[in-house]
Structure 1
Amino acid sequence: MTTHTAPPRRVAPDRIDRARRTRTRRRLRKADLLVVLCWSSVAAAVSLFLAYGGLSEVVDVASALTALGIVTGLVGSDLILVMLVLAARIPAIDRAVGQDTAMAFHRSLGKPALYLILAHGALLTVGYAMSDGSNVVAETISFFQDPDLVLAYAGLGLLVLVVVTSVVAVRRRFSYEAWHVIHLLSYLAVLIALPHQLSSGAVLADGTLQRVYWIGLYILAFGSIAVFRFAVPIVRSARHDITVSAVETIAPGVVSIHLAGRDLERLQTAGGQYAIWRFWSAKTWWHAHPISFSAVPTRTSARITVRDLGRGSSAISRVRPGTRVSIEGPYGIFTDDVRAAPRIAVVAAGIGITPVRSLLEGSTLRPGEATVLLRATDASQQYLWQEVGALPSMQGSAVYSMVGPRPPGLATWMSAEALSRGVTLSSAFPHLLGSDLYVCGPQSWADLVIRDARAAGLPEKQIHVERFDW
């Protein structure tokens, strides 16, 4: 018996491009909707307070300060819970904007939320002191007679610690592992402040829609974290039974970790994505790291490539075959799915090659559709370069290299030699405006590439960047 296989359907390029544009519009609408929902939650918190007579007791300066203190507390608490939702790694949010963008929004809300909570405490203290005919010091001391308010002050202290350690200049003084542990205190800070919110001042009186709203928001925030940060990764790791199969040195300080598992295709990993990995060895079990796939997983294997950038990554690079591995993810939209234009332009530097290599492997590229520029300071940084040119998807596409240090004193991503020849981003990518630009490398370097792309007139929706900072 002869089995006849139908030839694959050929889809017209214009239909593919229309489908990409449609996907892009949908994704951008989802991103806009996410922003609207975030700010609508703040509006709902204030509206409910007003609807239940929040201003009815404002009769003098003291009561006005108290009411304003309550509003700042409600808005600050709402923003903190929104931050927790953004950090919960909810798949719908990841598909809409990607974890990088979600976490950037998360970080941008940190200082405003803290300032509002500080204003909440200060305004209430002054307002109550004026109403009682007391002073601020005496009123503060009286607050400490209430166990719920003691917990609230403790939560405020933890929030201050979290926000201060999240400032870039301060954060860089910590290892990723230490910073991550401190950041987890934000969960505790929010939880221990909850009792005072439900008990003090009868603002969220029992049986009111206000109380239902706030309890629902707490359940959404902490339920999302419980499900997507803990339950799903535990189930997924058990299902796929991932272990280290081999560790391959590809350059000084750089290794590829080969992983074995079962049904890894069910992870539905797209080229360019990353996962949060935890290696269960004596020196690595206590911390997890976001690391990109450097090859698209097969049914039984996957690969990540790691550069020694600190104690954590150094320990990971020395794990032994047979070590069990847990996974959270995959995450990220540094993928072919976000393409809006007919062509792609790729600029990668150093270990930024890892997501780029899997991106190109997993992309549906037509001959000549991609232009890739690989950047290195010297020959020792040419990680996986040969693999990129050998990918089947890259047939007919151009791969260029730019090796050499940047000129001192100039804010440029290019080598001094290329700059002296008059090379620009537009000359390196003649079809730049008709391309989606993918950039991955050190943050300050990538920012310079993006700066030049914007100056050349490339729309934001066609710029995609994968950052390795935290």
Structure 2
Amino acid sequence: MAIGTVGRAAPTRRPTERQLRRRHRTRQVTVDLLVVAVWVSAAMALALWLTAVPVRWDGIGVVVTDLGIAAGLVGTDLVLVMIVLAARIPWIDRVVGHDSAMAVHRSLGKPSLYLLLAHAVLLVVGYALAAHVDVLAEGWALVTTYDVFLSLLAILAMIAVVVTSVVAVRRYLPYEGWHAVHLLSYVAVLIALPHQLSLGGMLAHGSWQRTYWILLYATAIGAIGWFRFTVPAIRSVRHRMVVEHVERIAPDVVSLWIRGRRLDRLGARGGQFLIWRFWSGETWWHAHPLSLSAAPSSTRLRITVRSLGAGSGRLATLPPGTRVSFAGPYGVFTERARAGDRIAVAASGIGVTPIRAFLDHLDVPRGAVTILLRARSERETYLWDEVFQWATDHGARVYTSIGPRGPGPNGWLAAADTARGVSAGTVWPGIADSDLYICGPDGWSDLVEADARRAGLPADRLHRERFDW
């Protein structure tokens, strides 16, 4: 139908293999430097303790108290690093990608919580030992003071964040509920600041330690406020997006065509996603992380949605003219992440949507792309006709695998294909010199990745789009 066209990506000068390798190495080095910065930040927290107050060994109570203070400083520093990683800062997103940044964010959750709990316990025990009083009595006396009570609220909020981020819990928790808990944790971290600044000689007035700590807080909270809320609000107003048309692709899949102003200035690349909010009576409260399913033009873009619950199901009934706000684009699942011209692609089910947009921006020699499309049945062949057309236009090879999955290590393919000995090595004979882009359910993607690695795929040339938050 006529409405199903979007502008193709603007032509650019094709990068050489040498330029691609240099860009890839630069990105890897930058990722390493970012990891180093996290460790340096934690070391600086310890430096605050070591330089502000000399370590004293004149009593077990004093030693335990000092260890508690050190644990609190490092734990709080890691929480602030987590906030920065979750702020969706464009530079971090371009370097490591949203998925990787959030993976590091989640990995710091438990260590920071354990350090903060150790901080609370060690301080109570240390003060009790130094004063020769009962531990429970000392704990109650501390909790009933105003600034310590605020710190206790912060620790309780961190416990809630860690618990709601556990996969088994998160699976049953609505996104909005999970998001609300995390927003409250940011507030809790902020209200714990008065307690930290009251630590006398540790963060004394006029000291560089106090200035550094306040700047660290300002950076983390400021990044959240600016990049998570202010920038998306400004861009949503500037681009004035509305739903133009809803197109039915399959019984449980629709494409939303969205109209706006100067959409080419978003800088969105095929394979990236945005977080959408549709302002209708039934959908305004629910944010949706959805990938583009075609390269945007200056006035129109497309996202394709599969109904996986009440929230996504309501999008199929959005009336034309519904206002749309957004945040993004995010992610490094783009052609800019590649290190060479040989491209392997694996897509399953609705995972074809970012792949479809990724292809629109891909500029490689003819015959350099090999695509594997996977579906459990003919009903799940979403947008395959568009992929076939792109492959015809660009001389790419496309293989399809339809049917129930087979057993064994090649179980990411249909049973009929695994029985014939098909594997990553036969689908992509040059996999060792390729960049592999995978998009689909996590379990399926894990099998593709493992098979490709056995066939010789370098770890740093693997690219995945994960469906989680």
- Normalising by structure 2, report the TM-score: 0.95
CA contact (8 A) 2:338 2:461 kept: yes
The CA deviation string for residues 50-95 of structure 1, in whole angstroms up to 9 with x for no partner, is 112341x331211110010001000000000000000000000001
Decide which moves more: 296-305 or 148-157. 148-157
CA contact (8 A) 2:52 2:203 kept: no
CA distance, structure 1, for counterparts of residue 237 and residue 340 of structure 2? 39
CA contact (8 A) 2:270 2:354 kept: yes
CA contact (8 A) 1:363 1:393 kept: no
Aligned to 2:328: 329
CA contact (8 A) 2:410 2:451 kept: no
Confirm whether residue 142 of structure 1 aligns to residue 150 of structure 2: no
Percent identity between the two aligned chains: 53
Q: CA-atom RMSD, angstroms?
A: 1.6
Offset at residue 315 of structure 1 (A): 2.1
The CA deviation string for residues 328-380 of structure 1, in whole angstroms up to 9 with x for no partner, is 11111100101102200000001100100000111112210100000001111
Decide which moves more: 119-128 or 443-452. 443-452
CA contact (8 A) 1:54 1:67 kept: no
Aligned to 1:445: 444
Aligned to 1:246: 245
- Cα 1:449–1:10 shift into 2, 3 Å: closer
Aligned to 1:270: 269
Offset at residue 209 of structure 1 (A): 1.1
- Cα 1:197–1:10 shift into 2, 3 Å: closer
Q: Structure 2 unaligned segments of length 5 or more: list them.
A: 1-10
CA distance, structure 1, for counterparts of residue 316 and residue 145 of structure 2? 51
CA distance, structure 2, for counterparts of residue 18 and residue 413 of structure 1? 34
Offset at residue 457 of structure 1 (A): 2.2
Partner amino acid for 1:171? R
Offset at residue 390 of structure 1 (A): 1.1
Query: How do 1:120-135 residues align onto structure 2 when only pairs under 5 Å count?
Result: 120-135=119-134
CA distance, structure 2, for counterparts of residue 110 and residue 258 of structure 1? 38
Decide which moves more: 101-110 or 142-151. 142-151
Partner amino acid for 1:438? Y
Query: How do 1:165-314 residues align onto structure 2 when only pairs under 5 Å count?
Result: 165-314=164-313
Offset at residue 385 of structure 1 (A): 0.4
CA distance, structure 2, for counterparts of residue 280 and residue 51 of structure 1? 53
Aligned to 2:83: 84
Aligned to 2:3: none
The CA deviation string for residues 399-436 of structure 1, in whole angstroms up to 9 with x for no partner, is 11100111368772111111100011010111111110
- Cα 1:419–1:70 shift into 2, 3 Å: same
The CA deviation string for residues 95-147 of structure 1, in whole angstroms up to 9 with x for no partner, is 10000000000000000000000000010110000011111110111012310
Q: Structure 1 unaligned segments of length 5 or more: list them.
A: 1-8
CA distance, structure 2, for counterparts of residue 200 and residue 114 of structure 1? 21
- Cα 1:188–1:411 shift into 2, 3 Å: farther
Decide which moves more: 199-208 or 256-265. 199-208
- Normalising by structure 1, report the TM-score: 0.95
The CA deviation string for residues 161-191 of structure 1, in whole angstroms up to 9 with x for no partner, is 1111111111112122222222222212211
CA distance, structure 2, for counterparts of residue 319 and residue 58 of structure 1? 68
Decide which moves more: 272-281 or 446-455. 446-455
Partner amino acid for 2:51? A
Partner amino acid for 1:348? A
CA distance, structure 2, for counterparts of residue 48 and residue 296 of structure 1? 49
Offset at residue 393 of structure 1 (A): 8.2
Offset at residue 306 of structure 1 (A): 0.6
Partner amino acid for 2:279? W
Offset at residue 394 of structure 1 (A): 4.8
Aligned to 1:403: 402
